[in-house]
Chains A and B, each alone.
Chain A
Amino acid sequence: MSAHIICVTSGGGLPIFSRKRGNWENLPFSVIGSLNGVHMFGKPFGIEMINTITDDYVVAWKEFVDSVVIIGIASGCSVDILNKLLESVFSSIVLIVGTEEIKTQRNIERLKRELRICYPVVDRLLDSLDCGDSNNKYSSDLAGFVETILCPENHLIQIVLDSFTECVDSMFSCVLISGKIAAATQSWWSLHPDELKLLSLLATSGNTASSKDIPVFLPYKSPTVAFRFVACTLIPEVQLCCLCGPTPLLNDIEHSVMQCFKNSTDILNTAVLCSPKNFPSSYVIDGNVLGLLLINTAIGKYMISKSPQQNASKKSTSSSHRLDILRTFFYRAVLNYLIPLVPCKYTSHPNLTEQNFPKDKLASNDLNIGTETYWCSEYHKCHATKVNENVLCVLYSSSVPTHFMRHITEKTLKQLISDKQVYW
């Protein structure tokens, strides 16, 4: 129900920032000092502290680029997810200040000040921990994956977006609906999932009424050279984001946006209606299905839906718990067996290669490949199946026969990925 992230310098143990979620007291300085001390103590013996597990909590330590140590404490989640979170937190630091400044650490106070902008992003990252806490507003966040929305209008938005990129001369742009990617350029999709996720979070953080123009480093693609990240709000809940160089100016970009999107307001307005459901309401989904999670493992994107039925208005109360279940199922079962490795095209990052968490004995081998998994609880059942790079996780009511889930999942998956209009 609670989570803490502490970032300290690895040399002197000076705290850089600490963020928390849930109803926890702030950690006293002595505790932070001890946690860091434990990590430091082992170094002369050649021992690196990796993690510690208690009955309910997990603590993980990770040192990045020999300069900062990020420590995470969380309840209810698994070590793997906490590790993933620590990497994402570091990525978000790089996003704002770049790796050079972290390594040199000339002025800690300035670093602290600069990093304030990423606090909301780190807070949102904390939301992706599956603490089994149903009060969480953002139960739909998945660590390491970026959320998308499958509006029936996606193909129309894509056309407009493509024309916009020609106007502003930027290869990297996307349209977000409620913070979820509806349409994006090819180049945008070529970014690392972590970068996609961080940029989406950055666009929606803070005040969205006015346009944002923030210098960002891309943690994987360009950790030392900054880009400009521009986010403009088209209509409420809909944003356009793009990455560009020193030119064009923000005003020029806003002008181009007006030009390109002024005729598409209706389309966007109907597209926004798709939001809580996240996929077209025309799809016929089996009555036993309570929730859907569709993942593309190659790109690192997902779509999650808690109300797949057409007349889904009545059962909205328990529905955020549904997302929690789906997410936990994904973390504990699917990620372990069906998506064993991060797609290798991303592992070539200079700063992160050596930092990959050491694979332990239980890391899956290459010969046995999981294709399908399920679990049955007293109250619900979950089933996931993998077809090529697509994985569909489905939450069922507990009344559905176990062997029947396979059939429904396959049918649903086919329906979701075959529609060309939504640009999955």
Chain B
Amino acid sequence: MESQRLLNPKAPSNNEAESRSSEEEDWSDGSSYSSCYSDSDSTIPDWEPYVDDFSGELLYIECHPFVTQNNKESKLKKHVEPFSKTQMRRSTRGKFLRLIRRRESKRKSKKGQKHVDVESNTSKVKFQDFQEGEEKEVMLDIDVENRHNLSSDKSLAESLLGLVVSTLSDGNRVMIAGFSYDSKAKNERNIKIGDWLKSINNIEVNVQNLDDILQKFINRNDVLLKLQRVAGIEVTKDPPINELNNESNFVKEMLNFKSDDEQVLLQTLCKHPVGIVYIDLEKLDENNQEYEDVIYGFPRPLKKNILCVSRGMYITLNHLLDDVTKTKPITTTVKCKERLAHIVYTQFEKNLLLFMLPDNRASVQETISVNKELIRLLQFSYESVHNSFVNEQYFAQVDHFFSRFFARTLSSGLWATAQQFVELENLSTKSLETSPCQFEDNFPVAPTLTLPDEAQMQIDDALAELEASDYREWNEEPLDCQRLFTMLGSALYHSGYLLATHFIHEDLMDVHCFCKQHGLFHLSRTEPVKCLVLWKEVFPHSCRTQHSKVKVPEGRRYLLVVGSAKDLLAVIMEAGGCTEPPEDNMGPDAFYVEEAQATLAHIQELGLSELADRFLSMNPGPQITVPFPHGSKKHGDFISLNFSKKSRCWEGNIKRPLNRNVSEVTSILKRRSSDQNFVMQYNSMNSLQDDSYDGQSEESGSQGGYSERSEVSDDSRRNFRRGARYDSNDEESEADEYGEGSQMSVSSFDVSEIRQNLLCDTEDCRPVQLTAGGDNVLYHFVQLDMTEGILLCPPESKMQTQTYELILENFRKCCQQIHTLFQNTLRFKNMPAQDMAKSVMNKSLVAIKEHGIVFECPYVDDKENKKYKISYWVVGRLFYVPHPREMYVCYQDSIPQNLIEIAFKMNMATMD
């Protein structure tokens, strides 16, 4: 195995470590499960070979195989040469060697577990599940070398048999999901992906007992596997070349810098009014060569770049308008080849940055926001815009980024959910279409999913633990080496939604922009990510700016992003200051990467990503409703309609497998009461209104029904967890176990209990209805908090109807305009008093705080109902205290709504 081969060249340099490792093996052999772990310094992480030798940067993405796409291409990680490691990185690891080893002994128990966990949670290979199928028996050799040197992030099955296992759709039976890199099994014709592994040496296996059984045969030379074909899916027909690490085009594009398409793409881009040009204003001289003043331009060649050839216009305007009006130009709109395009100006001392996008892909406001975001991104990635364009070593990276960026912008719909990989053919047609309006995704704010208190606390706990990096507990003797990094903060994302952040707001926005623009969110949302590691030197806002009061320590900061499945954990680490001084081109430190991965695994183990998934999948979400062709209702059918709508909503909820873990007797009561709590809440709100009592009593009745159904649950999952979790750490005190959630193995029982509690609690915390009145009339809401970088909005709805899309599109468009209007108010508020009188602002606009519009639109989904009109409000509201916050809502025109009330409820619902 890979790790095996890497072991030898390393070993001599670490004699001391070697000897210690044997000690440790002895010690942990006593425990039941984790006896066989590998010494960490023998484990070269999978990503290690891919670290860039010069910059120390790393982007490593490993995906689960997926079958939907018939992708036969092999692993494409061209730019890297396996096993080439720089001296530097070895030395880094040396420093932390002891730490790692000590920790390993305690962490081990979780390692194997984590793996299965991830797989069962997420994108497993799905096969149709027929019981009958041919049964095969296969004799498989056990990998002798790996027997006692189990890799830290491989399951037992993978290490011993070279099989990657997952579960079948019932979550209990073991499925062959793939083969490890150099497995013997993959040459075995009778083992195919998707097969059900029935037994090993005639002992029936399931997910729970697999590891235990393997444990028993660990010293045998071979085992007899009994497998059964479950489905005849294309992949299994393929000869077992086993190109399992299939990467989608998108992932390839992310990893692959110099694709052949890039040239073609550049030519295509030159035909569109897009571009970015960075100009040195001091080199403008008639005598200079034609493009001497252009420091950077994209797309190239410059003479075909429409922005570049016409830059004289904008340079002239830039200083002319400054002279005439004493204000700098922000945007210019031009008509170029019969298409409108917007150019944004940004001046950096003696340099001018111009950025152009066509109007049909981005309105003026959108272009301005995108420009801001790009600047933020460049500053975060390369310290300053100037640096990013001047430094030749960044050229390739910056070019690659912009080519992807422009191609995406020209071809995608809504940016947040846009398909990130661009087919060239699509580009020419799509770029002429008008894109939908962007709104909430267009600002430096992170869409936030608020989980219940308990869950939030667990996450915060885990993140805090990671950030503290307090490793004293693991050492019998005091540490004598300095830390390599201080953690400046961390943030946890799920499917692109922020779950928790410990960043300074500005840094959060930096990280968010980075992940968004580099497609990491898209990756975690759409791809079956098994493992993602990103490492890059960054320049977060808090360290970029020179504060007069706060002294930023000298040092370097690095962004570490680890991901698995839909979860993403971003950490900014500082080298220098109070830690070891930074080295040049420092690569990722295996210890810290593992630390972050372990934190993520811990969070997943607690069921938090599952919880987040549930929240996201509530469709259309309990807070909002979809438009329905009954504009204004008479009082009579008010009740019935109320009920029917509500029950629709509830049906949506029970379809989800909510209740897996109900085993306590009390939980039935608890559940029922919690449901009724919700009803009570609901009632009390309605009672303010008046007369929908009948509807509600029926409702609570029906909920009783649901709760009975909820008792039917399979707790196999939980059993599985529990069974696998008795490990070596029972001797630790309980307090410790609780406190050290992230790194130490919490006693398994506690983890599963926490998990169970967290998942049960879902039912308790349904958000209340935000709008007034008996009926929920809210179609959509957006709350922008630019100061904190937080965005609240309902999760992306999968119940899209045409009418709904139509309304949302209009909603976003209006929001853009309302947002622009509010900027006047904010600008005036922040204006020094002495400037107010002088200001030439339109004084009628300086204090607007709420703006609303009623629209009518036809119900377009149903042809027969087309005559029905839906009448709805789009309202924006600006709050100043404690800091500026903007809220936008879209609701059906019926009972008058109070925006302050809605905002209050919204924030109450998300605060708890």
| A-to-B contact residues, CB < 8 Å | 1-2, 27, 31, 34-35, 37-38, 41-42, 45-57, 59, 73, 75-77, 79, 130-132, 134, 321, 324-325, 327-329, 332-333, 336-337, 358, 360-362, 364-365, 367-379, 402-403
Contacts and interface: CB of A to CB of B under 8 A. Distances in A.
B844 A34 contact: no
**A-B pairs with the 9 shortest C-beta distances?**
A132-B842, A403-B896, A378-B847, A372-B854, A76-B842, A54-B327, A328-B844, A376-B850, A75-B840
Contact of A130 (B330, B332, B842, B871): B842
Contacts of B860: 367
A365 B810 contact: yes
B313 A47 contact: yes
Contacts of B856: 368-369, 371
A191 B817 CA distance: 33
B858 interface: yes
Contacts of B816: 362
B313 A73 contact: no
Contacts of A132: 840-845
A362 B437 contact: yes
Chain B: interface size category: 35 or more
A46 B331 contact: no
A367 B858 contact: yes
Contacts of B340: 50, 358, 360
Contacts of B854: 370-373
Contacts of B843: 132, 134, 321, 324
Contacts of A42: 310, 313, 334
A18 to B, nearest CB: 13
Nearest to B436: A361
A41 B310 contact: yes
Interface in B307-361: 309-310, 312-313, 316-317, 320-321, 323-325, 327-337, 340, 359-360
B853 A372 contact: yes
Nearest to A378: B847
7 contacts: A42-B310, A53-B330, A56-B325, A56-B839, A361-B363, A367-B860, A371-B855
B386 interface: no
B300 interface: no
A75 B312 CA distance: 25
Contact of A362 (B313, B327, B813): B813
Nearest to A367: B857
Given A38-B313, A131-B842, A368-B807, A49 B332 contact: yes
Nearest to B842: A132
Nearest to A39: B313
B840 A378 contact: no
Given A1-B840, A131-B840, A50 B335 contact: yes
A375 B844 CA distance: 11
Contacts of B363: 360-362
A148 B810 CA distance: 34
Main secondary structure of the interface of A (DSSP, over half): mixed
A321 B845 CA distance: 12
Contacts of B396: none
B851 interface: yes
Interface string B215-242: 0000000000000000000000000000
A35 B860 CA distance: 48
A362 to B, nearest CB: 5
Contacts of B329: 52-54
A374 B844 CA distance: 14
Contact of B323 (A31, A371, A376): A31
B317 A38 contact: yes
Given A324-B843, A372-B854, A31 B320 contact: yes
A2 to B, nearest CB: 7
B814 interface: yes
Contacts of A321: 843-844
Contact of A328 (B362, B845, B850, B858): B845
A368 B848 contact: no
B754 interface: no
B403 to A, nearest CB: 23
B844 A329 contact: yes
Contacts of A333: 851, 853
A368 B806 contact: yes
B317 A51 contact: no
A404 to B, nearest CB: 9
Nearest to B434: A361
Nearest to B328: A54
Contact of A325 (B306, B331, B844, B849): B844
A76 B320 CA distance: 19
B839 A370 contact: no
Nearest to A130: B842
Contacts of B814: 337
A47 B335 contact: yes
B826 interface: no
B261 to A, nearest CB: 27
B332 A369 contact: no
Q: Which of A55, A131, A329 has the most CB of B within 10 A?
A: A55
Nearest to B312: A41
A378 B880 CA distance: 12
B807 to A, nearest CB: 7
Interface in B274-325: 306, 309-310, 312-313, 316-317, 320-321, 323-325
B593 interface: no
Given A47-B306, A324-B843, 20 more contacts: A45-B309, A56-B840, A57-B840, A59-B317, A76-B840, A132-B842, A132-B845, A321-B844, A324-B844, A328-B844, A333-B851, A337-B853, A361-B362, A364-B813, A368-B810, A370-B853, A372-B854, A373-B854, A376-B848, A376-B851
A408 B300 CA distance: 60
A337 B817 CA distance: 10
A318 B309 CA distance: 52
A51 B363 CA distance: 14
Contact of A50 (B316, B334, B850, B853): B334
Contacts of A368: 806-807, 810, 855-857
Nearest to A376: B850
A221 B263 CA distance: 54
B857 A369 contact: yes
A103 to B, nearest CB: 22
Q: Which of B309, B435, B814, B871 has the most CB of A within 10 A?
A: B814
Contact of A377 (B310, B813, B849, B855): B849
Nearest to A46: B337
Q: Which of B321, B327, B437, B871 has the most CB of A within 10 A?
A: B321
A37 B848 contact: no
Contacts of B337: 46
A374 B437 contact: no
B746 to A, nearest CB: 52
A327 B324 CA distance: 27
B441 to A, nearest CB: 16
Contact of A336 (B310, B817, B842, B858): B817
